[in-house]
Amino acid sequence: MHPALLAMAISAISPSEITLKQFQAKSGIVSKATARDVLEYIVNNGIGVISSQDHYFFSKADRMKLAILALQSGYDIEKISKSISWKDFEALTSEILNLSSYITETNIRFSKPFRMEIDVVGVNNKLAIVADCKHWKRNNLSSLSSYARKQVKRTKILFQRIRRRKRRGKGISYAVPILLTLYSTDIQFIDGVPIVPISKFKSFIEDVPLYLQEIQVIATNT
């Protein structure tokens, strides 16, 4: 499948049911046969489902999945980044965590000691993954250290709130602050904070114990 066709499809899908005719109109794909081929290719790659004849259903995370597929197929990342939103990024992050048995919450906001927001938090048993979704077109290495420090600070403030609320020792014991990016590179660590491309987030979650020696783990008594 040509990556340009996949990119055209990104803006055409939304978390709802869509007909072939609607998809064709929104994507700008002129040929009905080509539009059907694109939809079938997308579904065959685990994005969306066929609900009935020429009817397709997509979830909140599917736009981001399609963006990753187009990126992996060789389409220009600068153009792909214009087709997706923060909500697309966060929806896929939450879905990956949910599939790995994490309970998630998004857009956690605090006003004290200063205004801050945590994009996604996933909790499994006593471990929390505290993710900041960076909509970078490419990794800006000069600013990674600054973003990493800020994410550690946000995680510590989150834990201060948790300590005040938990009862009888229940709650999160430790957390891993991470930065998620769109640009597909290898997982790297800056000041102990993992910088993880969203395309590799699932494998990172599965292998967290293998990375613990490299990760700055935040404990509730920090």
Mean pLDDT of successive 10-residue stretches along the chain, which has 222 residues: 91 90 93 94 94 90 90 81 83 89 86 77 87 70 79 83 54 84 79 87 86 78 56
* Same domain, yes or no: 24 and 130: no
Q: Do 209 and 138 fall into the same domain?
A: yes
Q: Quote the pLDDT of residue 28.
A: 93
The residue segments making up the domain with residue 127 are 86-219
| Residue 109 sits in the same domain as residue 197 | yes
pLDDT of residue 221: 60
User: What CATH code is carried by the domain that includes residue 146?
Assistant: 3.40.1350.70
* Of 65, 116, 126, residue with least CA distance to 93: 65
The residue behind tokens 């609900």 is 51
CATH assignment of the domain containing 56 = 1.10.10
Q: What is the pLDDT of residue 43?
A: 95
Question: Do 76 and 101 lie in a common domain?
Answer: no
Q: Residue 169: what pLDDT?
A: 42
One domain for residues 70 and 96:
no
What is the C-alpha separation between 92 and 64, in angstroms, rounded?
Answer: 6
Both 46 and 100 in a single domain?
Answer: no
| Last residue of one domain, picked from the residues 26, 52, 81 | 81
Residues 125 and 33 reside in one and the same domain: no
Do 73 and 96 lie in one domain? The reply is no
- Distance CA(142)–CA(71), nearest Å, equals 24
Report the DSSP beta bridge partners of residue 17. 57
Do 137 and 67 share a domain, yes or no?
Answer: no
Q: What is the pLDDT of residue 168?
A: 40
- In this structure, the answer to whether residues 206 and 114 fall within a common structural domain is yes
Task: Domain count for the chain, please give it.
Answer: 2
At residue 209, the pLDDT reads: 78
